[in-house]
Chains A and B, each alone.
Chain A
Amino acid sequence: MFCSILSAALLGVDSRLVEVEADVSEGLPMFSMVGYLSSQVREAQDRVRTAIKNSGIRLQPKRITLNMSPADLRKEGTSFDLPIAIGILGAYGHLRPSSVENIMAAGELSLNGEIRPVRGVLPMALMAKESGCRLFLVPRENLKEAQAAGGIAAYGAGNLNEAIDIIEGRSILEKAQDEERYREGGGEGQKNDTEPLRHEREDFSDILGQEAGKRAAQIAMAGLHNILFIGPPGAGKSLIAKRLPTILPPMSEEEQLEVSKIYSIAGMLPKGEPLLKTRPFRAPHHTVTAQALAGGGRYPRPGEVSLAHRGVLFLDELAEFSSSTLEILRQPLEEHSIWIARMGGSCMFPARFVLAAAMNPCKCGYFPDLERCICTPGQVQRYLGRISQPLLERFDMCVEIPKAGYDDMLSAPPGEDSAGMRAKVCASMEIQEERYRGSAYRYNSDLDGEGISRYCAMDREAEEIMKSAFYRLDLSVRSYHHVIRTARTIADLEGSSIIRGGHAAEAVCYRSADRKYWNRGGIY
């Protein structure tokens, strides 16, 4: 008898529908599986057979043939165990043919028949919703994740027998109680609502002094500008960077779903938290490989740039990263997504993040404090030279974070806290949303030359300042654009519709370091 059931294969951040077809016929007892399967999927036959046996179901020795279509799509992972088991049971006649119709399942089986959680349930649930499945069966641990997609009847099963009951419709009425039970048992879902979120324990008011750095951070977040912090060790560059997500507005539902999808595929969704509510903050160590940063593997998985989607990617010790790793960032910074082509197929991961980076000004870290810096001019230049010009140009803003003085530590008034800063950032983002409605841009940092001439009106004084800065400070055209974009954000923070002189002047102060300036080695 023939039976087919739906499942899904992950492809980048999306999934594709896979039909699992099982046929049981008379003949020599054997189990053959076809359909471009990886060895993980091929191993399913042993798990499935044993799990069925240990669930108390006896299968007659017959010839079992299993096909997964489309046959040209490589299937990987262990999420096909459950659909294969259901397909076989259906083909043996243990399930009513009508009950298996139009349902989707995903889950890994253990030998005793228990169903184990798998990664990527969220995008699968979205797929199930899209293709109009009547039921989506997932491991119990993944139920919340599946429900987060909304609009799909998702059921969680703890073991194979429960799964059969659900399919046969025997326990559907109990579903509500079942969920209740799970929630009480797990309890984690609720705990998270009351406990402060990860970022919120960190606050900008923890940082004493460093007003200039904090101000720059606020501007950067308000327009989603990439920012580079330069300063000696221990000055507080990382402290500031870690607090950047705390002043970004909360994610919209759409954004939460987008980000959670990526984490679901990476298998990194926290237990009991089906949707990520806080903006991601990723700080890969400087020994990170290009693959880990970009994403990859034979079957592409999201890398750090995608895990930082809608959040902040922080690269501490920028100069210590290998240059080939850093060059990877160019495409995602430009296009807000990254294409990964591998043997298992090519796919696109979203990567819209704010890049924040911190670096020492030289090897010993104390330049331009000539009393303490022990580097030769050549060493300073070599150190700075590790950052390629094209990458430097991706930073709209750059600010020096000097070592805090004793006065700063003791007598500085407690600075603004994250909540206050976030309120201003949110307000300026609303202004941007309003202004760019219906255009190709979304934030000030997205503006290109054309956008600048359209949206960045300046008053006379600002124009004069920009003109004189262009000549006197020898700005390149690109850094001129950076400055205008930053000035636009400063104006938005103050609720001004045109860029005034003060906004332009302040933006010039945070301009990014360009090569001319870099090579001159500053003080020398």
Chain B
Amino acid sequence: MVSDGKEEAWLWLCSQQGLYYGGIQKIISRFGDAQAAYSAGDEAIRECPGLSLKIKNELAGRRRGKAFLREYHKWKKEGIHFISAAHEKFPERLRNIPESPFGLFVKGELPCPFRPAVAVVGGRKCTSYGKNISQDLGRKLAEHGVEVISGMAYGIDGFAQQAALDAGGASFAVLGSGVDICYPISHRGLYGALADRGGLISEFPPGSPPAAYHFPMRNRIISGLADVVVVIEARMKSGSLITADFALEQGRDVYALPGRSGDELSAGSNRLIAQGAGVLLSVPAFLEELGYGSADAPKIKKCNIGLETNEILVYSCVDLQPKSLQELVTETKASAAAVAEALIRLELKGLIKEVWKNYYILRDE
């Protein structure tokens, strides 16, 4: 996409390691635009206030002999390209947000401008309840042709994106590192699938490490790329709340999944609801509210037919919160052997699920 001098100038600025939005802003306000800075003399660059000498020297150095272009050609071989805010294909949704990024590095594609997009964000640490909802949401959104935007983090982000991809939809991850870096490393599979069937997007040049201060910055792009932001299981101090703040600032709708009162993992999302965010009552209801699809009649699948006495006893004690084998033994007052046997029979019938060694929850489908 780097075809003309203008794009080249933006690439030169945006691919500078350690130069963030604020720094570029300073250069632009000094020179007027990127091209002017690009063609200014080394001395003029060095005189630019508010930037470290190291960065200014590097900027001047990388311009000599177009060293940054050689770097860019290497990235292109890995399927990474650059698009500046001045480019016509730059996402429209992003243009109008405060502190809109000057350029993006993309591996894969950018979100389709004509299709709706929903950001699903949430905690890295989550309960099986949050996991189920985020997966369900990701899958249903994909089935209705909605693109899922998120951050590829552990927990909610990853589950929603994986589910969307598995359902054959497109999903886009905005990273806090360069797009050539897979973080967390255990999301290798998801990373590859996103590059194939969606896109990896970052305002940081390839090779940037996943530094902690990158993540709040990238959150504005997550909300910016989406029409609606859904927050699932955010703690009181959570990056997802930063995303929600950006969303409000950018004029996006914010929905939150209600958690149980006093549940630390949902304290942040519950607060959002208290402050007036939309409530994610159920996935079908949410889709209908946004006009993406109609609410199916809720399926009632709880049939105790064919269960033995012991199984009914144990089944009645299993909950949406994980309960251990021992807790169930205590509650049912049955023998450990009988409870263990009933649990496995229930699990094999698909009524409950073991979420962790000897911890069981109800399975809701």
Using a CB–CB cutoff of 8 Å, the interface residues on chain A facing chain B are 209-216, 230, 361, 367-368, 370-371, 376-378, 381, 398-402, 404-405, 407-408, 412, 465, 468-469, 472-473, 490, 502, 505-506, 508-510, 513, 517, 522-524
Which residue, B264, B330, B344, has most C-beta atoms of chain A within 10 A? B344
B340 touches A509 (CB 8 A): yes
A391 CA to B356 CA, complexed, in Å: 19
Instruction: Point out the residue from A367, A371, A378, A509 that lies within 8 Å of B343, measured CB to CB.
Output: A509
Instruction: Point out the residue from B265, B330, B342, B356 that lies within 8 Å of A408, measured CB to CB.
Output: B330
5 example contacts (A-B, Cβ-Cβ < 8 A) are as follows A371-B263, A376-B124, A378-B184, A404-B326, A412-B330
**Is B126 in contact with chain A by the CB < 8 A criterion?**
yes
A368 touches B344 (CB 8 A): no
Instruction: Point out the residue from B154, B324, B350 that lies within 8 Å of A377, measured CB to CB.
Output: B154
Q: Contact string, B111-127, partner A, CB cutoff 8 A, digits 1/0?
A: 00000000000001111
With A502-B341, A509-B343, A523-B127 as given contacts, are A400 and B359 in contact (CB-CB < 8 Å)?
Answer: yes
With A211-B336, A368-B355 as given contacts, are A469 and B124 in contact (CB-CB < 8 Å)?
Answer: no
Shortest A377–chain B CB gap in Å is: 5
With A465-B345, A506-B337, A510-B340 as given contacts, are A212 and B358 in contact (CB-CB < 8 Å)?
Answer: yes
B325 touches A399 (CB 8 A): yes
Shortest B348–chain A CB gap in Å is: 5
Shortest B178–chain A CB gap in Å is: 20
Residues of B within 8 A of A377 (CB): 124-125, 154-155
Shortest B135–chain A CB gap in Å is: 12
With A400-B325, A506-B341 as given contacts, are A513 and B357 in contact (CB-CB < 8 Å)?
Answer: yes
Residues of B within 8 A of A472 (CB): 347-348, 350
Q: Closest B residue to A380 by CB, please name it.
A: B125
Residues of A within 8 A of B140 (CB): none
Instruction: Point out the residue from A212, A371, A513 that lies within 8 Å of B329, measured CB to CB.
Output: A212
Q: Closest A residue to B357 by CB, please name it.
A: A400
Shortest A275–chain B CB gap in Å is: 36
Shortest B110–chain A CB gap in Å is: 29
A249 CA to B341 CA, complexed, in Å: 27
Residues of A within 8 A of B339 (CB): 212
A214 CA to B327 CA, complexed, in Å: 14
A377 CA to B339 CA, complexed, in Å: 30
Q: How many residues of B contact A (CB 8 A)?
A: 39
Residues of B within 8 A of A522 (CB): 355-357, 359
A378 CA to B125 CA, complexed, in Å: 10
Q: Which of B102-151 contact A (CB under 8 A)?
A: 124-128, 131
B348 touches A376 (CB 8 A): no
Q: Closest B residue to A522 by CB, please name it.
A: B356
Shortest A8–chain B CB gap in Å is: 50
Shortest A234–chain B CB gap in Å is: 14
A402 touches B327 (CB 8 A): yes
Q: Closest B residue to A373 by CB, please name it.
A: B125
With A212-B336, A522-B357, A524-B126 as given contacts, are A505 and B344 in contact (CB-CB < 8 Å)?
Answer: yes
A400 touches B330 (CB 8 A): no
Residues of A within 8 A of B348 (CB): 465, 468-469, 472-473, 505
Q: Closest A residue to B323 by CB, please name it.
A: A402
A505 CA to B322 CA, complexed, in Å: 20
A1 CA to B124 CA, complexed, in Å: 87
Shortest B138–chain A CB gap in Å is: 15
Residues of B within 8 A of A408 (CB): 326, 330
A209 touches B326 (CB 8 A): yes
Residues of A within 8 A of B125 (CB): 370, 376-377, 524
Instruction: Point out the residue from A402, A473, A513 that lies within 8 Å of B326, measured CB to CB.
Output: A402
Residues of B within 8 A of A213 (CB): 326
Q: Closest A residue to B131 by CB, please name it.
A: A524
Residues of B within 8 A of A402 (CB): 324-327
Using a CB–CB cutoff of 8 Å, the interface residues on chain B facing chain A are 124-128, 131, 154-155, 184, 186, 263-265, 322, 324-327, 329-330, 335-337, 339-345, 347-348, 350, 354-359
Shortest B338–chain A CB gap in Å is: 8
B358 touches A400 (CB 8 A): yes
A30 CA to B337 CA, complexed, in Å: 76
B356 touches A505 (CB 8 A): no
What 19 new A-B contacts, CB under 8 Å, besides A472-B347, A505-B342, A513-B357?
A: A212-B325, A212-B329, A212-B339, A215-B335, A230-B357, A368-B322, A368-B355, A370-B264, A399-B358, A400-B324, A407-B330, A469-B348, A505-B341, A506-B340, A508-B344, A509-B325, A509-B344, A522-B355, A523-B131
Q: Closest B residue to A219 by CB, please name it.
A: B337
A509 touches B154 (CB 8 A): no
A401 CA to B327 CA, complexed, in Å: 10
Q: Which 9 A-B pairs have the closest CB atoms?
A: A522-B356, A400-B358, A509-B340, A215-B336, A505-B344, A402-B324, A211-B336, A212-B336, A505-B341
Shortest B237–chain A CB gap in Å is: 14
A523 touches B355 (CB 8 A): yes
A402 CA to B358 CA, complexed, in Å: 9
With A377-B124, A407-B330, A509-B341 as given contacts, are A523 and B356 in contact (CB-CB < 8 Å)?
Answer: yes
Residues of A within 8 A of B330 (CB): 209, 405, 407-408, 412
B155 touches A368 (CB 8 A): no
Shortest A163–chain B CB gap in Å is: 60
B155 touches A524 (CB 8 A): yes
Shortest A422–chain B CB gap in Å is: 17
A361 CA to B324 CA, complexed, in Å: 14
A367 CA to B355 CA, complexed, in Å: 12
Q: Closest B residue to A214 by CB, please name it.
A: B336
A523 CA to B358 CA, complexed, in Å: 12
Q: Closest B residue to A508 by CB, please name it.
A: B344
Residues of A within 8 A of B345 (CB): 465, 505
Residues of A within 8 A of B322 (CB): 368, 523
A326 CA to B90 CA, complexed, in Å: 56
Residues of A within 8 A of B359 (CB): 368, 400, 522-523
With A212-B358, A465-B348, A523-B128 as given contacts, are A505 and B325 in contact (CB-CB < 8 Å)?
Answer: no
Residues of B within 8 A of A400 (CB): 324-326, 356-359
Shortest A499–chain B CB gap in Å is: 13
A215 CA to B358 CA, complexed, in Å: 14
Shortest A366–chain B CB gap in Å is: 12
A489 CA to B69 CA, complexed, in Å: 70
Instruction: Point out the residue from A209, A367, A524 that lies within 8 Å of B154, measured CB to CB.
Output: A524
Residues of B within 8 A of A513 (CB): 357
Residues of B within 8 A of A399 (CB): 325, 357-358
A230 CA to B358 CA, complexed, in Å: 10
Shortest B352–chain A CB gap in Å is: 12
Shortest B240–chain A CB gap in Å is: 15
